[in-house]
């Protein structure tokens, strides 16, 4: 399997978290602004999965830095080792 770049993993994490928020908000709006238990449980699970993904899968392929403090868009180069984040080491 082709390894994904940290930028792709960041996108997956953000999509999971975004989907959770949109899912719960959508359910709330459909149900007259009341929060229901199960949709909220699903939404919280999605957000948690996104957060776990962010902190386990998003790391520098060169030095393993986890980019603490960066929550949205990753820079093109690792702030720690200056390695490229849009390419895996074997592709360079
Ligand atoms: Zn690095």
Domain contains 10: no
pLDDT band at 41 (very low <50, low <70, confident <90, very high): very high
Domain contains 12: no
- Residue 43 domain boundaries: 21-91
Mean pLDDT of the chain: 91
Total domains in the chain come to 1
Q: Compute the distance from residue 26 Cα to the ligand 1 centre, in Å.
A: 38
Q: Compute the distance from residue 85 Cα to the ligand 1 centre, in Å.
A: 8
Regarding pTM above 0.85, the answer is: no
Query: Residue 87 region, left (φ>0) first, then alpha (ψ -120 to 50), else beta?
Result: beta
Angle ∠(27,41,14) on CA atoms, nearest 5: 80
Q: Compute the distance from residue 20 Cα to the ligand 1 centre, in Å.
A: 30
Q: Compute the distance from residue 64 Cα to the ligand 1 centre, in Å.
A: 6
């Amino acid at each position: 399997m082709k390894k994904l770049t940290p930028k792709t993993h960041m996108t997956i994490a953000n999509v999971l978290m975004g989907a959770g928020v949109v899912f719960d908000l959508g359910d709330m709006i459909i149900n007259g602004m009341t929060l229901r238990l199960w949709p909220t449980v699903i939404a919280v699970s999605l957000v948690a999965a996104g957060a776990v993904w962010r902190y386990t899968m998003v790391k520098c392929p060169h030095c393993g830095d986890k980019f603490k403090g960066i929550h949205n868009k990753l820079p093109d180069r690792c702030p720690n080792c200056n390695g490229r984040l849009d390419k895996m080491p074997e592709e360079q």
